Amino acid sequence: DSGVTQTPKHLITATGQRVTLRCSPRSGDLSVYWYQQSLDQGLQFLIQYYNGEERAKGNILERFSAQQFPDLHSELNLSSLELGDSALYFCASSPSGDTASPLHFGNGTRLTVT
Amino acid sequence: GQQVMQIPQYQHVQEGEDFTTYCNSSTTLSNIQWYKQRPGGHPVFLIQLVKSGEVKKQKRLTFQFGEAKKNSSLHITATQTTDVGTYFCAEAGGTSYGKLTFGQGTILTVHP
């Protein structure tokens, strides 16, 4: 158990809909990362937050947004969903957000868009 | 942007054979991390390499960082069925904070 909690485990929704994925980092970790994993794209970095502030951004679509709340949990919002958004979405956390710290991943949320 | 190329994409071995996966970058890396993802699981941190020429061992796993800090390898001696999974390298692109970029991963299958 990595200590990172992601909910829900599975999500099935239709194209055009909006969903919210939730992540609680390990106790004491201030930084949260979101990654998208699809079969042909590997682990793609979406966005990183540190203590409530956005720190780094990857190839995150404009239809996607995220935030980190004062209690350090994070939410990833995906809107106007398309079939191609079907993937496994991982949240990871680290203590300080510097790249010398290993990431601890949650179990992921599997999103299926039909 | 910064990218690591990881090879091979797939590797099938018989139990007891050795396995190696490689990560290569065109630019100098500040550090490199290795992760393992079991089928149906999430990536789990294995190790981090920071120094030029560094070699670290974990039981049957040997990790190396190149002298120029542009490549790294993970070698497993005498594979076991429990080694099955995808092995990823990840790099920070010379920055001290921000994203970790993952290689495409090497999917290891071990036949008993």
Q: Residue B112: what residue type?
A: P
pLDDT over threshold 70, residue A91: yes
pLDDT score at B110: 97
Q: Name which of B30, B97, B103 is nearest A97 (Cβ-Cβ).
A: B97
Is B101 in CB contact (< 8 Å) with chain A? yes
Residues of A in contact with B95 (CB under 8 A): 99
B99: DSSP letter: P
pLDDT score at B1: 47
Residues of B in contact with A105 (CB under 8 A): 42-44
Section B48-57 average pLDDT: 96
Query: Which two three-digit tokens encode residue B82?
Result: 């429990």
- Residue-averaged pLDDT of chain A: 94
Element spanning B10, H or E = strand B10-14
pLDDT score at B96: 57
CB atoms A100 and B102 under 8 Å: no
B81's CB contacts (< 8 A; 6+ apart) are: B15, B110, B112
pLDDT single digits (tens) A37-76:
997 668 999 999 999 999 989 989 999 999 999 999 999 9
In whole angstroms, give the CA distance from residue A2 to residue B42.
9
CB atoms B96 and A100 under 8 Å: yes
pLDDT single digits (tens) B1-16:
457 899 999 999 999 9
Section B98-110 average pLDDT: 91
pLDDT score at B100: 87
pLDDT single digits (tens) A2-11:
899 999 999 9
pLDDT over threshold 90, residue B86: yes
Section B38-50 average pLDDT: 95
- Residue-averaged pLDDT of chain B: 92
Closest residue in B to A110 (Cα–Cα): B40
pLDDT score at A98: 79
Residues of B in contact with A58 (CB under 8 A): 99
Count H helices and E strands in chain B, helices first. 0, 11
CB atoms A100 and B99 under 8 Å: no
Residue B94: pLDDT band with limits 50, 70, 90:
low
Residues of B in contact with A56 (CB under 8 A): 97-99
Residue A99: pLDDT band with limits 50, 70, 90:
confident
Residue B93: pLDDT band with limits 50, 70, 90:
low
